[in-house]
Amino acid sequence: MISKVDSVGVPSRDAKRSREFYVETLGLPPDEHAWNEFWVGQTCFAIWEPAQFGTEFEPQKNGIALFQVEDVATARNELEAKGVEFIGDTFDTGVCHMANFVDPDGNELVLHKRYAPYRDSSSG
């Protein structure tokens, strides 16, 4: 029934500041048709201001986007040099490396690199 994700909402108190963070700081390509949207691969992320829709702003804390990178340590160093705030140390889950960080509104995001092969589900 569901064929794909059309867009992921990114709540913000200041859409202009958020766009600058995602496009300029993280280097994600902006959508050419909508000033408040940017792309991560084939997935569109849309910045929105809850106050404009009559709701209170709350940063996303549990719907965390994991951004795939070639090397978590390298990406983290580059982003820290740009002032991006990370939460804790980079960690190894046994199958991937991850580093949690926040955008200017406190939305939690993750740099992610899976290094272990996926297990064949037909083998049990």
pLDDT digits (tens, 9 = 90+) for 29-40: 999 999 999 999
CB atoms within 10 A of CB 72: 22
Q: What is the DSSP letter of 81?
A: H
Q: How many domains does the chain have?
A: 1
pTM: 0.87
Indicate whether 121 pLDDT > 80: no
**Domain annotation covers residue 41:** yes
Q: pLDDT confidence of 64, banded at 50, 70, 90?
A: confident
Q: pLDDT confidence of 124, banded at 50, 70, 90?
A: low
**Domain annotation covers residue 13:** yes
Query: In CATH, what number is assigned to the domain containing residue 102?
Result: 3.10.180.10
Amino acid at 82: K
**Domain annotation covers residue 2:** no
**Domain annotation covers residue 124:** no
What distances in angstroms separate CA 121 from CA 8, 18, 45, 106, 114, one per listed residue?
29, 39, 31, 36, 17
Domain assignment of residue 65, given as a range: 7-50+59-119
Q: pLDDT confidence of 24, banded at 50, 70, 90?
A: very high
